Amino acid sequence: MSNTDLMNAISISSYGMRAQSARMRVISENMANSETAATAPGENPYLRKTVTFKNEMDRELGVNVVSIDKIRQERGTEPLPTQFMPDHPGADENGYVQMPNVDPLTEVVDMREAQRSYEANLGMIEQARNMILQTIDLLRG
């Protein structure tokens, strides 16, 4: 394995880290807005966002890397949850307010998965860095 291959491995892993970092930001936004209700009758509350990834060719490196494809709001197939809050400005004629479709438990699981992927990419960078340093040490000695 050449140093160019090791530098490519570092670059590829950094793309992965950026993608997972963006995913963690979206998950954090979901968690922060998990109680953000509709502000007026007929309006939607905060809708859960999801991140999708895509492979794209990095022409400089000559390899496929991961990048963000879309960040989209997820409406889902089930009706939005409601909560009885008759004094809320977003309450309907029966006193119910539409709540976000964010499940904190799902978000925690997604966050852990994103964190583990981020750490795996970081570990790859550390391994490649160590191999480069070992090569330099061998060339000195």
pLDDT at residue 4, as a whole number: 80
Residue-wise pLDDT tens digits, 4-45: 888 889 999 999 999 999 999 999 999 999 999 988 888 889
- Total domains present in the chain: 1
pLDDT at residue 97, as a whole number: 94
Range of the domain at 106: 3-140
Q: How confident is the model at residue 2 (pLDDT cuts 50, 70, 90)?
A: low
**pTM summary value:** 0.86
Nearest-angstrom CA–CA distance, 127 and 133: 10
82-84 and 63-73: which strand pairing?
unpaired
- Give the rounded percent of residues in the chain with a pLDDT score beyond 70: 98
